[in-house]
Structure 1
Amino acid sequence: MDKKQRIGRYIKSSAVGGESYNAYIPQPLPPEPPLGMTELYPLLDKANTAIGRLDGMSMVLPDASLFLYMYVRKEAVLSSQIEGTQSSLSDLLLFETHEAPGAPIDDVTEVSCYVSAMHYGLERVKKFPLSLRLIKEIHEKLMDNARGGSKQPGEFRSSQNWIGGSRPGNARFVPPPPEYLMEGLDNLEKFLHDETIHLPILIKAALAHVQFETIHPFLDGNGRLGRLLITFILCTEGILKQPLLYLSLYLKTNREAYYGHLQSVRETGDWEAWIKFFLTGVIETAQQATETAQCIITLFTQDRNAIASSGKSTAAVLTIHAYLQQHPIATTTKIKETTKLSLPTILRSLTVLESLSIAKEVTGKDRHKVFVYDQYLALLSKGTEPLSN
């Protein structure tokens, strides 16, 4: 098999100032010659098994919406960190309780917009096919912040962009020029919906992600939207009932290899190496997500038992413990708004939870206290520390 036949073509273009550069036009999907499936099947079987376990776990969770709420936020933080934001999961949760996060506010707002884009997309794909129009709508939600407002939110680019370097002439990679954009995007949309192409859904998602990143259709937000695309494909095709797979943890941990594989596909046509990397990530991430869910269920059960055997169990203490499961960083104001308990009752109940090492006050202030469900947040936050600059 000559994989080099899969390599796209280069178009010679000239930038302002007369400097010429080569822009890359990818071949349409699926790859030709066809993928060597024999070498992919062992990993594909393992990946399907791991996702099946994760999906099965979502069916037996005491509150699947609770895990969904947190896992979506974890994916949002991780995917944004790949692009360089310094927001942690704690920063995002503080921001959502209207408290000042420790990271730059623009970073946290970007992550919050990712959460909005994910939810918007998941609702829309229940009623509409995954189309270019929908991708533009999701991009508009993703870029609804101070940094994204000037980057043509919801519109495919009308100018040349590039990856690495200070201009197209010295860039590491130059995507298709604007006049070739719709050709590539139309082919990608057809690939997503062509029922004559019989490929496993995980492989389809892996191919679509690279193709989207290669086309790079927006001025900004391509990486985050391309990773959202993976989630949307897996959910619309029924591989996942809930978006509990935070693949960005693996892509963040192996960031250099991730970028290397994207570029290698363009330069060598070796889709198989990328798909093996992708499937390994699915296996690892699905296993981690399943283990995390099991650990969280165990923690909640242990803490409920500790409350019950403490002799201090009241309806209010149990109500606040349940609230902290949904919001592991909380203020007394937010607890009061949601539970309708009185402030003295809330403070007494939190004192009980502190004495049992379940909750912890983190500001040291007399007023405007912030309480953290410490062990729960630690389980959720594993892997979400910002990358060092």
Structure 2
Amino acid sequence: MKPYVPDALPLANLDLARLLPKIGPANAALARYDGLLQSVVNPAVMLSPLTQREAVLSSKIEGTQATVDEVLEFEAGMDFDPEKTSDIQEVVNYRETLTLAAHEVAHRPISLGLLRQMHAVLMDSVRGANKTPGEFRREQNWIGSAGCTIEQASFVPPSPLQLLDYLQAWETYLAASDVDVLLQCAVVHAQFELIHPFKDGNGRIGRLLIPLFLYQKQALASPMFYLSDYLESHRDSYYAHLQAISREGDWNGWIAFFLEAVTQQALSNAGRVRAMMTLYEEMKRRIAELTRSQHAIAVLDTLLDRPIFQSGDFVQRSGIPKQSASPFLRSLREAGILQVLRESRGRRSAVLAFRDLLNCAEGREIF
């Protein structure tokens, strides 16, 4: 099988008559979701469980097996076997990559340099760390069943000899404008996946690009729109549509799939955000009543930022004096707001969980 030759961007001969009925609803759904995001006082803190969930689901598409709870328990100092620890570290790296990239895109456009920076963080000290983190590949690779030859491959990415030319053309397209920002986002993601510039981690970097690109194009006020939930639950269709581009040049089918994903995910995400906003208001009232303290909001924000935590870490992150923080945590435990995952013993702090917030992020009923 010969290496794939990417189509020139912007794409010619798109069937806009077919795509327009999907472009409108996708943009409307995203705009409603963005309006909701803008009403959130501190989205990076209040909606951090959604970022955790994105990191878990995008990693799951690549075969990583770890839950949001396990990641947070690990970061709170609980122990796991080496294989699970490795999976959790991949999720943690994904979240750190997203945080880094969101900060960078607030100040400068997405670039090939930023891609390499993101890849270095994503692949740091995990499986694939031997696959040149932070560097574009310099050799031919291919995708297929384990141990297959290039002739048996299901997809052969572009030759490394032309790789930089294709990436530079992609980067130029990224900075330009197309007929619609969501259509352009669909093309940006798929073209990146087809160029496949890294030895490993291409799927995760490509999915990270979706919120970053929409943020850069000002379609989002903050880069907190995550598609991995939809893509993971439609994984076969996701891969089939990408493959149809390389085999049949079917960009229209891929873009239609992507627009439907945006529409459905925006509705789903909006439901989760509204549930978390409702929980925030309810907890603000309850915690104020329980603590009768000026620190009530600081308590709640610290719980939102990390809903599974060590009690000692809570004191440090909240900035609340220990003589006040310890009684607050005791009151929240007694009220059933916090659950104990591990009791304190000697110098080892208790590990506590704010389950209602995790349930909100997963879309489970809490009230």
TM-score when normalising by structure 2 = 0.90
1:377/1:68 CA distance change after superposition, 3 Å:
closer
Aligned pairs, number:
359
Spell out, residue by residue over 1:238-281, the C-alpha distance to the aligned partner (whole angstroms, 9 max, x if none).
01111221101100010011001000111122211111111111
2:164 alignment partner, one of 179, 182, 187: 182
SS at match of 2:333: helix
Task: Supply the distance in 2 between the matched residues of 1:340 and 1:135 (Cα, whole angstroms).
Answer: 35
For 2:138, the equivalent position in structure 1 comes to 158
Task: Supply the distance in 2 between the matched residues of 1:382 and 1:84 (Cα, whole angstroms).
Answer: 23
For 1:35, the equivalent position in structure 2 comes to 14
For 1:13, the equivalent position in structure 2 comes to none
Task: Supply the distance in 2 between the matched residues of 1:339 and 1:324 (Cα, whole angstroms).
Answer: 9
1:379 alignment partner, one of 350, 360, 365: 360
Matched, 1:230 2:210: yes
- Measure how far apart 1:219 and its partner are: 0.3
Task: Supply the distance in 2 between the matched residues of 1:119 and 1:339 (Cα, whole angstroms).
Answer: 20
Structure 1 counterpart of 2:139, which letter?
S
- Measure how far apart 1:48 and its partner are: 1.1
Structure 1 counterpart of 2:55, which letter?
A
- Measure how far apart 1:101 and its partner are: 5.2
1:211/1:341 CA distance change after superposition, 3 Å:
closer
Q: Percent identity of the aligned residues?
A: 34
Whether the 8 Å CA contact 1:126–1:236 is kept in 2: the answer is yes
SS at match of 1:173: coil
Whether the 8 Å CA contact 1:306–1:356 is kept in 2: the answer is no
Task: Supply the distance in 2 between the matched residues of 1:127 and 1:327 (Cα, whole angstroms).
Answer: 27
SS at match of 2:342: coil
Task: Supply the distance in 1 between the matched residues of 2:26 and 2:295 (Cα, whole angstroms).
Answer: 43
Moved more, 62-71 or 47-56: 62-71
Matched, 1:168 2:150: yes
Structure 1 counterpart of 2:200, which letter?
D
For 2:335, the equivalent position in structure 1 comes to 356
For 2:23, the equivalent position in structure 1 comes to 44
Gaps of 5+ in 1: 1-20, 384-389
- Measure how far apart 1:147 and its partner are: 2.1
SS at match of 1:150: coil
- Measure how far apart 1:25 and its partner are: 1.5
SS at match of 2:129: helix
1:70/1:208 CA distance change after superposition, 3 Å:
same
For 2:93, the equivalent position in structure 1 comes to 113
- Measure how far apart 1:161 and its partner are: 1.2
For 1:18, the equivalent position in structure 2 comes to none
1:92 alignment partner, one of 64, 71, 75: 71
Whether the 8 Å CA contact 2:47–2:273 is kept in 1: the answer is no
Task: Supply the distance in 2 between the matched residues of 1:342 and 1:127 (Cα, whole angstroms).
Answer: 36
For 1:143, the equivalent position in structure 2 comes to 123
Task: Supply the distance in 2 between the matched residues of 1:135 and 1:97 (Cα, whole angstroms).
Answer: 30
Task: Supply the distance in 2 between the matched residues of 1:300 and 1:74 (Cα, whole angstroms).
Answer: 18
1:134/1:302 CA distance change after superposition, 3 Å:
closer
Whether the 8 Å CA contact 1:317–1:352 is kept in 2: the answer is no
Q: State the Cα RMSD in Å.
A: 2.3
Moved more, 185-194 or 367-376: 185-194
Whether the 8 Å CA contact 1:116–1:141 is kept in 2: the answer is yes
Whether the 8 Å CA contact 1:307–1:356 is kept in 2: the answer is no
Whether the 8 Å CA contact 1:68–1:243 is kept in 2: the answer is no
2:54 alignment partner, one of 75, 92, 109: 75
For 1:126, the equivalent position in structure 2 comes to 106
Task: Supply the distance in 2 between the matched residues of 1:341 and 1:237 (Cα, whole angstroms).
Answer: 39
Whether the 8 Å CA contact 2:142–2:153 is kept in 1: the answer is yes
Matched, 1:63 2:45: no
TM-score when normalising by structure 1 = 0.85
Whether the 8 Å CA contact 1:92–1:101 is kept in 2: the answer is no
Structure 1 counterpart of 2:341, which letter?
V
Matched, 1:370 2:367: no
Whether the 8 Å CA contact 1:227–1:248 is kept in 2: the answer is yes
- Measure how far apart 1:307 and its partner are: 4.1
For 1:295, the equivalent position in structure 2 comes to 275
Match runs of 1:171-210 below 5 Å: 171-195=153-177, 198-210=178-190
**Greater Rg by CA:** 1
For 2:200, the equivalent position in structure 1 comes to 220
1:308/1:143 CA distance change after superposition, 3 Å:
closer
Task: Supply the distance in 1 between the matched residues of 2:120 and 2:343 (Cα, whole angstroms).
Answer: 40
- Measure how far apart 1:303 and its partner are: 2.8
Task: Supply the distance in 2 between the matched residues of 1:29 and 1:128 (Cα, whole angstroms).
Answer: 22
Task: Supply the distance in 1 between the matched residues of 2:103 and 2:327 (Cα, whole angstroms).
Answer: 40
SS at match of 1:172: coil
Task: Supply the distance in 2 between the matched residues of 1:336 and 1:308 (Cα, whole angstroms).
Answer: 18
- Measure how far apart 1:364 and its partner are: 4.7
Task: Supply the distance in 2 between the matched residues of 1:162 and 1:293 (Cα, whole angstroms).
Answer: 40
Structure 2 counterpart of 1:282, which letter?
V
Moved more, 284-293 or 99-108: 99-108
For 1:335, the equivalent position in structure 2 comes to 314
